[in-house]
Chains A and B, each alone.
Chain A
Amino acid sequence: MTFTAPVLSYQLLSPILIVLGGALIGVLVEAFVSRKLRPIAQLSLTIGTLLLALFQVFTIRNSQSTTAAMGSVVIDGPAVLMQASILVISILAAFLIADTENFVPVAAAVPGSEDERRAIQSGQTLTEVFPLTLFAVSGMMIFPIATDLITLFVALEMLSLPLYLMAGLSRRRRLLSQESALKYFLLGAFSSAFFLFGAAYLYGYSGSVSFEGIRIAIAGGSGNDIILLIGIAFLSVGLLFKVGAVPFHAWSPDVYQGAPTPVTAFMAAATKVAAFGAMLRIFYTAFANAQWQWRPLLIVISIITMLFGSLVAIAQRDVKRMLAYSSIAHAGFLLAGVIALNKAGLEGSIFYLFAYGVATVGAFGVVTLVRDSTGEVTDLNRWAGLGKRSPWVATIFAGFLLAFAGIPLTSGFIGKFAIFSAAYEGGSKSIVIAGVLSSAIAAFFYIRVIVLMFFTDPQEDGTSVVIPSILTRATVVICFVVTIALGVFPSPLLDSIKTLAIFIR
């Protein structure tokens, strides 16, 4: 057996390599730069790395290659769009993460211990979160471009492991935060096992771990269908867990609530792009010929997810949990794009992912601003009358909520319209009906929050909106502007998605 040296196309892989390199330098910075300089150094490094990577993505935007890393990854239009979306969302989220007020000073200190108290007093700040973010981003960037199951699994773990850690870094309510991190880790490990199990079945069916091999095997139709379907089902469990589809969603409300809000923003927005990117690719390419088997399953899951997310969101009294259930409902809407299995579905999904990601980062950015003396106020009742005290912040938040609800003139409307019309075209009318129904239910609780903010008298309980840092302000305003701009002038983005969104094999 001879060992073949891998042939890598560094130009095409450069965005991922840049992010990985930035993460490694971040570790070194953590070790060698003085404590005082670390926050600013880490922030500049992170933003610089992400911007450079974004620039590299831009330069390779018209490339098409299946051999960039020995057939493990593919660079094509959707890959570029997904990576660019992840990078843009990560930059916006990194601005939020830069507000270290939200993070525990020493993650290793036991909650409530003397060590922690001393760390707070000495004004230490946590900066490990930046390299962790970059590691997660690199995993997310590989996830939607992977073309074999091994790479896919590695990417899944690369993006998950830093997130498990980051979920436990909240400065306040640390026990809740750590509990959520542990839950996330345990359940993530559990679902990863399903994923691997499914991958094994698929290998057993096709004798290959590459998407192309699986596709050829399914097209040939000589294998055992039961094995194939068990493989698809188990692999789907792993992916559906990441996107938070029912019944694999249970982690997300607890983790969204427990994690520091900037991390929640990052994980809710960027993870969804990466996970749906991977799902779209694998279902559109590898499993496309088995659609009669997997589509009914996904349709049922999609409908349950939409309805469950929308219904339970109504019962929430905590803004972060409400946004978590809203994100579950949105996962259901996005599954409609996977099920559509046509070009319009791919285009709609990409638009929706970007629009939803931006609005999500913005919405969680607003959540970080509403505080009292003990930190963020997430109890919805205490948001009453926010519109009177802070009309700007409340208006912007209302804008994000309207986008989530899919009201025209926001990006959410265009996204929902694109996805549902694609699903209709693809023949899944039941999904469109369920989607519109649950959108109506969802509108109820989004608008209820708006009513609460603007038409309910404020309580005198010391809730106030802090003056946002310049970075947080930039994030919130940019997200708002993008959300409205995509609602009013969606054509430029839709057009460029249309020309780029073609999977190559």
Chain B
Amino acid sequence: MFNTNSLVYLIGLPLFGATFLLLAGRKVDKWGHILATVLSGSAFIVGVDQFFQMANRAPEDRAITQVLFSWINVGTFNVDAALLLDQLSICFVLLITGVGTLIHIYSIAYMSHDENRRRFFAYLNLFIAAMLLLVLGNSYLNLYVGWEGVGLASYLLIGFWNQKPAYATASKKAFIANRVGDMGLSLAIMIAFATLGTVSFAGVAEKSHTASQGALTAIGIMLLVAATGKSAQFPLQAWLGDAMAGPTPVSALIHAATMVTAGVYLIVRSNFIFDAAPTAQLLVVIIGAITLMFGAIIGTAKDDIKKALAASTMSQIGYMVLASGLGPVGYAFAIMHLLTHGFFKAGMFLGAGSVMHGMDDEVNMRKFGGIRLFMPITFVTFGLGYLAILGVPPFAGFYSKDKIIETAFYSGGIKGILIGSVALLGAGITAFYMSRLMILTFMGTPRYTEDKNPHESSFLILLPMAILAIGSVASGFLLSHGNALVNWLSPLFEMTEETENEIMPPIVISSLALVFVAAGFALAWKMYARSAVSNTAPTDVSIFTKAARRDLFQDDFNEAVFMRPGQLLTKTLVSTDELLVDGTVRGIGKAAIGSGNLLRTTQTGFVRSYAALILIGAISLIAAIWVVTQ
């Protein structure tokens, strides 16, 4: 049914949906969302078909390329608009279209009261198309187009309810933080072109050994900057919490499952750069470790359910980035955690949306409590995701997160012990804040006001949550059974036989992780289940809690270091422009007008003075000749 040419349909179907829905206008309000969902679902079917075709090919033939057209052809610089589907991108294709379609279905019900639902679905389709282009592009330049496309879709969707100024600001914040990262990506592309003369993945991989260490490190660091922007990693993480202003399905799809993992994709895709640039690779690990702690700590103090989940996302992506910085052994586990996280985090976000739906869009967890009785299905699906993120066996997170902790410990030396400990501690904190979230929301006694009427959501909302919950349970086992994913991806990476630094056997690490998780859970149980919870946030808290509530001062830092000096700089520039530049220009203008007025006085209107002028001119010529020839 499909052949290699069908790659273009993957992107083409949702792109058509976005274009059509945006251009058709209100006339298609009635059925536009159905079309968008069907198109997204069709893309998923194409993806599944491609997956089976690929699985049936020999490992060395699995990657296929489809050239669409010659895009740039300037001198020696040739870039085709071409799509590359290999073992790595198919994982993303399935995740994007699969989870994407579920979220389309969810949104039909979730957005049913919004008069701009068609526009919402158009943006969702736009996002799917852009994200697919991002993971299917065969060069950094093609990836960049998708990269910018998802940034645009994210911006449009965060600010979807832009009638609220705070939401509009949040979308701008996300956009600007992403621009910083985008600049990193464009610089990486330019350096790659300047040093290697090519920007395709295959070309860069082939020629990377010809480049100097400095150039490779520079490319690596710039790619890392790009990844920190898109994946909300330290130090460009501040936008993700505010991005929760978008409708909850958006948070689930873009800001949990797919777009924010683009940074991980970029790093794993650029494995040939990072493998050859140890400094950049070490930075990746450090950034990942910092972010996973950063997010986890913020998560402990958030009362807004979506912001707590956002902090958790940040922290989990920190795990992935950390893993992707561990070299060939880590790439597959980064991707595995990315996939399992895609299921359980999207599922929990949808669960949070379902709770908000039943609670009149309340997001403060201190005003929830005991909701499990009214929303049993939401409770169960959310709970399965919760167990998955904690890493309780045999749920999905156990397989993926444990592997990351293990690989971190095994990476050798002091570094291995350090980052392994951070990952282990992070797992404990994760257990604490997720249990806190779970207990505050679903357990205990109701703390909401009388006028709230918690109720279970409709079928269309519950169905995607149920499917994602199955993923939360089973995906880890399926992906790691017989090292399925590792073997699947291994042809892409240059596996080096590393000496194993087994400082502890895996079973010890797993047990340690479980101990930390249990400790985190116990602490949360003691603090929130065994003692009464106030429905307003207590103010007499330690400085650490205050810091965590303020997102560890990320905004204060940005304001003090970037915003205020930036404003000062622009003010200075504006006044310099007005005084110096404009002043000079005006001065020149005035001088020109003045000299013009002066010179025009020679135009007396008297023919005798004109004749005199000619005579003087002629005499001057003769005089000049006289002088020249003497």
A contact residues vs B (CB 8 Å cutoff)? 182-183, 186-187, 190-191, 194, 225-226, 229-230, 233-234, 236-237, 241, 246-248, 250-251, 253-254, 293, 296-297, 300, 308, 311-316, 441, 444
- How far apart are B72's CB and chain A's nearest CB, in angstroms? 24
Please tell me which stretch of B205-213, B482-490, B546-554, B601-609 contacts chain A, meaning at least 4 of its Cβ atoms lie within 8 angstroms of it. B601-609
Contact B629 A312 (CB under 8 A): no
Contact A251 B593 (CB under 8 A): no
Q: What is the bound-complex CA distance between A191 and B618, given in angstroms? A: 10
Q: In the complex, what residues of B have CB within 8 A of residue A313's CB? A: 596
Contact B621 A315 (CB under 8 A): no
Contact B600 A312 (CB under 8 A): yes
Instruction: Confirm or deny: B617 has a beta carbon within 8 angstroms of a beta carbon on chain A.
Output: yes
* Per-position 1/0 for B587-600, Cβ under 8 A of A: 00100110111011
Contact B618 A194 (CB under 8 A): yes
Q: In the complex, what residues of A have CB within 8 A of residue B599's CB? A: 308, 311-312, 315
- How far apart are B292's CB and chain A's nearest CB, in angstroms? 54
Contact A311 B610 (CB under 8 A): no
Q: A247-B613, A250-B603, A296-B628 are in contact. Are A237 and B621 (CB under 8 A)?
A: yes
Q: A190-B614, A237-B617, A253-B603 are in contact. Are A293 and B628 (CB under 8 A)?
A: yes
Contact A315 B597 (CB under 8 A): yes
Instruction: Confirm or deny: B561 has a beta carbon within 8 angstroms of a beta carbon on chain A.
Output: no
Q: A247-B617, A311-B596, A315-B593 are in contact. Are A226 and B629 (CB under 8 A)?
A: yes
Q: In the complex, what residues of B have CB within 8 A of residue A236's CB? A: 621
Task: Specify which of B593, B596, B614, B625 is in contact with A247 (CB 8 Å cutoff).
Answer: B614
- How far apart are B569's CB and chain A's nearest CB, in angstroms? 29
Instruction: Confirm or deny: B611 has a beta carbon within 8 angstroms of a beta carbon on chain A.
Output: yes
Q: In the complex, what residues of A have CB within 8 A of residue B625's CB? A: 226, 229-230, 233, 293, 297
- How far apart are A275's CB and chain B's nearest CB, in angstroms? 16
Q: What is the bound-complex CA distance between A297 and B619, given in angstroms? A: 12
Contact A311 B592 (CB under 8 A): yes
For B589, the closest partner residue in chain A by CB is A444
Main secondary structure of the interface of A (DSSP, over half): helix
Q: What is the bound-complex CA distance between A308 and B624, given in angstroms? A: 20
- How far apart are A20's CB and chain B's nearest CB, in angstroms? 31
Instruction: Confirm or deny: B622 has a beta carbon within 8 angstroms of a beta carbon on chain A.
Output: yes
- How far apart are B596's CB and chain A's nearest CB, in angstroms? 4
Q: What is the bound-complex CA distance between A254 and B603, given in angstroms? A: 9
For A230, the closest partner residue in chain B by CB is B622
- How far apart are B399's CB and chain A's nearest CB, in angstroms? 63
Contact A190 B611 (CB under 8 A): yes
- How far apart are A317's CB and chain B's nearest CB, in angstroms? 10
Instruction: Confirm or deny: B581 has a beta carbon within 8 angstroms of a beta carbon on chain A.
Output: no
For A233, the closest partner residue in chain B by CB is B621
For B620, the closest partner residue in chain A by CB is A247
Q: Give the total number of A-B pairs whose CB atoms are below 8 A apart.
A: 82
Q: What is the bound-complex CA distance between A226 and B607, given in angstroms? A: 31
Q: In the complex, what residues of B have CB within 8 A of residue A311's CB? A: 592, 595-596, 599
- How far apart are B589's CB and chain A's nearest CB, in angstroms? 6
Q: In the complex, what residues of A have CB within 8 A of residue B574's CB? A: none
Contact A250 B602 (CB under 8 A): yes
Q: What is the bound-complex CA distance between A293 and B614, given in angstroms? A: 21
Q: Top 7 nearest A-B pairs by Cβ distance?
A: A315-B596, A250-B610, A247-B617, A314-B596, A233-B621, A311-B596, A229-B625
Contact B618 A233 (CB under 8 A): yes
Interface residues of B in 94-123 (CB under 8 A from A): none
Q: In the complex, what residues of B have CB within 8 A of residue A308's CB? A: 599
Q: What is the bound-complex CA distance between A315 and B629, given in angstroms? A: 38
Q: What is the bound-complex CA distance between A441 and B596, given in angstroms? A: 11
Q: What is the bound-complex CA distance between A195 and B597, given in angstroms? A: 32
Task: Specify which of B597, B611, B618 is in contact with A187 (CB 8 Å cutoff).
Answer: B611
Main secondary structure of the interface of B (DSSP, over half): helix
For A315, the closest partner residue in chain B by CB is B596
For A185, the closest partner residue in chain B by CB is B607
Q: What is the bound-complex CA distance between A441 and B599, given in angstroms? A: 15
Instruction: Confirm or deny: B616 has a beta carbon within 8 angstroms of a beta carbon on chain A.
Output: yes
Q: A311-B596, A314-B593 are in contact. Are A237 and B614 (CB under 8 A)?
A: yes
For A234, the closest partner residue in chain B by CB is B618
- How far apart are B159's CB and chain A's nearest CB, in angstroms? 34
Q: A233-B625, A315-B597 are in contact. Are A187 and B592 (CB under 8 A)?
A: no
Of B596, B603, B613, B618, the most chain A CB neighbours within 10 A belong to: B618
Q: In the complex, what residues of B have CB within 8 A of residue A225's CB? A: 629
Q: In the complex, what residues of B have CB within 8 A of residue A253's CB? A: 603
Q: A183-B607, A236-B621, A293-B625 are in contact. Are A250 and B592 (CB under 8 A)?
A: no
Q: What is the bound-complex CA distance between A326 and B611, given in angstroms? A: 22
Q: In the complex, what residues of B have CB within 8 A of residue A316's CB? A: 600
For A314, the closest partner residue in chain B by CB is B596
Contact A187 B614 (CB under 8 A): yes
Contact B592 A441 (CB under 8 A): yes
Q: What is the bound-complex CA distance between A182 and B603, given in angstroms? A: 16
Q: In the complex, what residues of B have CB within 8 A of residue A315's CB? A: 593, 596-597, 599-600
For B623, the closest partner residue in chain A by CB is A233
Contact A187 B607 (CB under 8 A): yes
Contact A248 B624 (CB under 8 A): no
Q: In the complex, what residues of A have CB within 8 A of residue B616's CB? A: 247
- How far apart are A187's CB and chain B's nearest CB, in angstroms? 6
For B603, the closest partner residue in chain A by CB is A253
Q: What is the bound-complex CA distance between A316 and B618, given in angstroms? A: 27
Q: What is the bound-complex CA distance between A45 and B105, given in angstroms? A: 80
**What are some 16 contacts across the A-B interface (CB < 8 A)?**
A190-B611, A194-B618, A226-B625, A229-B625, A233-B625, A241-B614, A247-B613, A247-B614, A248-B617, A250-B609, A293-B629, A296-B624, A300-B624, A308-B599, A311-B599, A316-B600
For B585, the closest partner residue in chain A by CB is A444
- How far apart are A204's CB and chain B's nearest CB, in angstroms? 15
Q: What is the bound-complex CA distance between A233 and B627, given in angstroms? A: 14
Q: In the complex, what residues of A have CB within 8 A of residue B620's CB? A: 247
Contact B600 A187 (CB under 8 A): no
Task: Specify which of A182, A191, A226, A297 is in contact with B614 (CB 8 Å cutoff).
Answer: A191
Task: Specify which of B589, B600, B622 is in contact with A233 (CB 8 Å cutoff).
Answer: B622
Q: What is the bound-complex CA distance between A234 and B628, given in angstroms? A: 16
- How far apart are B545's CB and chain A's nearest CB, in angstroms? 59
Q: In the complex, what residues of A have CB within 8 A of residue B629's CB? A: 225-226, 229, 293
- How far apart are B601's CB and chain A's nearest CB, in angstroms? 10
Contact A183 B589 (CB under 8 A): no
Of A191, A312, A444, the most chain B CB neighbours within 10 A belong to: A312
Q: In the complex, what residues of A have CB within 8 A of residue B597's CB? A: 315
For A237, the closest partner residue in chain B by CB is B618
- How far apart are A298's CB and chain B's nearest CB, in angstroms? 10
Contact B607 A182 (CB under 8 A): yes
Of B595, B596, B617, the most chain A CB neighbours within 10 A belong to: B617
Q: What is the bound-complex CA distance between A253 and B605, given in angstroms? A: 10
Q: What is the bound-complex CA distance between A444 and B611, given in angstroms? A: 31
